[in-house]
Structure formats: C-alpha cells, structure tokens
Amino acid sequence: MAILWRHSALAHRHAEIGGELEDWNGMGTAWFYDHTDERAKADYEAIRTKAGLMDVSGLKKLHIVGADAAYVIDRCTTRNVEKIAPGRAVYAAMLNSDGKFIDDCVIYHLAVNSWMVVIGTGTGMESLTSVAAGKNCSVLFDDDLHDMSLQGPKSVDILATQIPAIRDLAYFGIMQTRLFGRDVMISRTGYTGERGYEIFCRAKDATHLWDNILETGGDDVRPTQFSTLDMLRIESYLLFYPGDNSETFPFADEPCGDTLWELGLEFTVSPGKEGFIGAENHYAMEGKERFKIYGVQLTDSMDQMEMHARVMNGDKDVGVITYGLSSELNKYSVAIARLDPSVAKAGTKLTVVQPDGTKLAATAEEMPFYDKDKSVRTAKG
C-alpha cells in the first residue's frame, strides 16, 4: 500500500461524488469517480466537446528563485532558458548523466530571477535540488499551491465571464490575476491536446474556485476523473512517465532508461544547446534507437487495444502497446506503442495480439491522431 504524504484540499469534493483517492506522486488523487464505461466516456467527451475540470494538484510545484535560478534550470533541463521571456512557459525534458529520460516538466518564467518548475512522477525534483546546492538560489517545494486543470473548447468561455482578457492569453502564456475574488495564476497549458487552462491557487481557495467554476459553467462543464487523461493523451501524443517507458516495459538484457530519440521527444532540446545533464550522451545516441514510440491504429475494428498487447509484423514480434483508446466520438481505435524502428513508418501493416490471444488488423500511423496541426490547442479568441 502506498504511503500518501500529500493531501489535496479538494479531497472532500472528490469523495462527495464517489471519488476513490489513489496514490499519484504521493497524493491521494481521484483516479475514478466510478468505474463504469459510461462515466469514462462522458468525461472524455466533455473535454473534447465542452469542458472538464480536473484536480491535478499531485504535480510537484517548485519555486526556484535567486541570481543562479536560471543556471540551475538550464543545467537540469533541455531548454535554453535564456529564450523564455517573463510571462511565458515551455515544456522540457530532464535527463540523467547517461542521456536517458528521467522526467518531464513545464518551466514557468514568472519574473526576473523568479521561476516555477512543475514536475511529474520522475526524479526531476531531486535533480534540481542537487544542482541548486551551494548556488545563489533557493528551491521551495510548494505543496500549498494547488492546480486545477480546466480543459475543453468551452473552458475559455467559462473563464471569460470573470476575466475577459483570458481570450488573448497565448498558448503557453501565463496570467497573474484574480478569479472569483481569489488570487490565481492561470497558464494556457494542459495535458489533453485540447484548448485549456491550468489554474494555480492557494489550498484555502481551491474549494471556492472549484465550486464557482462548476456553477458558472453549468451544463458546459463537469468534474472529470484523473484517469480521463489517459484517454485524451493517447490520441494527442502526450507521454506519461513511467507508463510508456522502459520502467513499465523493461528491456530483457539492460537497465531501464529511454532516450529522447526513442521517445520522440528530441524536439524538447533547444537547437545547439550544450551543457545540460546528459547532453553529450544524448547527442551520441542519435540513430541508435532500440525502439520508437509510434502510433498504431486498427483497420477493421473498434476494439480497444490493451496494455501489454504484442504487435506483430508477419511472424515477427515488433513491439508492445502501452495504452489504447477506442473513441466513438472520433470513430477510431488507436494506441501508443513501443515499436521496432523498422516498422515505425506510416502505413506499415501490423497485427495486434491482445493478452487473450485475439488478433486485430492494424497499421502504424504517425501521431498525434487528434488535432494534427495543433490548431485546436493553440486557437485564439
């Protein structure tokens, strides 16, 4: 049984609608409000067609402040932080000295010498605190800061009733403001591949904001369970550590650890950047991919591809399904897979063998499956 050492101020709201609080990053998180397919479908379709409100406070929020703050972040992440203007954020990767992925994060430049790094479930926090030791900066783990994710095409309309200027907030932009009379930071970010916002607030304000967002949104918004993210991220090519990684799908004869080239995350490295942890080994491993994260789509079926299903090319085992989605809304069954590089090419014919032995015809396809040109998540106005 996991030891839950973090607490969401919204736990009582989740419990009131049947939420089962399970461990994520040390915090009790509402993975499910109920386990029915109807609930999962409704939450997924709400975010794709209207709006969903989700408690993602289990993310780790680190304030990094001081003269050496930028250096510490630059050393630990793949982005050139000198290019991030105040009021902007960027997605980045973090590596170990072997050049293998250990975490991803969003870097927020709040003001001069003031940054926030929001981290997932890897060891990014440990990397940042280690590099910060002895430097002229402070690293504060802020667990009072809560994070609500309001995602979906109606999210901007809901917020605009209180903050008209929200319509002008650019993708990965940051706004310091007040919402329903409470201090908040709102960022144009999310983990759904949809237009959406993350609302950072004090723990004591979380319930007030949660209730008012749901009341203001009415039929256009619903609380959504955390597991909905898996459905949304699959079709949007958003990886989840360690779910898509070798920590879950280990190599037979070598330790865990994946390269950015294998994960398709090499775009997170700023052009020409050197000096970040693992940089030399990262560049040296280009072209040496043992597998490639790639998409798989069924051709004759809407069955959902199951986690750990094997992927075959003829008689050759060429990979494994990490997560699958069958979407009635978008009329496809798609999945993220770890494939042999030789078959990670659009149109390659494959067979997915489910854990029960069922065989399903499929093809390899480029991701994302949804919002391929990112026009939805970056929409203006």
pLDDT in tens, 262-304: 999 999 999 999 999 999 999 999 999 999 999 999 999 999 9
Name 200's bridge partners.
147, 185
pLDDT in tens, 31-57: 999 999 999 999 999 999 999 999 999
Task: Check: CB of residue 321 under 8 Å from CB of residue 249.
Answer: no
Q: Round to whole Å and give the CA distance between 63 and 225.
A: 27
Task: Say what the pLDDT of residue 195 is.
Answer: 98
Under the banding of pLDDT at 50, 70 and 90, the label for residue 20 is: confident
Beta-carbon neighbour count of residue 67 at 10 Å?
11
Task: Say what the pLDDT of residue 23 is.
Answer: 94
pLDDT in tens, 330-342: 999 999 999 999 9
Q: Tell me the three state secondary structure of residue 243.
A: coil
Q: Which tokens hold the place of 197?
A: 């916002």
Under the banding of pLDDT at 50, 70 and 90, the label for residue 223 is: very high
Say whether pLDDT at 366 is over 60: yes
pTM of the model: 0.97
Say whether pLDDT at 365 is over 80: yes
Say whether pLDDT at 305 is over 70: yes
pLDDT in tens, 185-222: 999 999 999 999 999 999 999 999 999 999 999 999 99
Say whether pLDDT at 1 is over 60: no
Say whether pLDDT at 148 is over 80: yes
Q: Round to whole Å and give the CA distance between 82 and 357.
A: 52
| Mean pLDDT for the stretch of residues 170-182 | 98
Which residue type occupies 165? A
| Mean pLDDT for the stretch of residues 124-147 | 98
pLDDT in tens, 349-359: 999 999 999 99
Place of tokens 């080994």: 281
Under the banding of pLDDT at 50, 70 and 90, the label for residue 26 is: very high
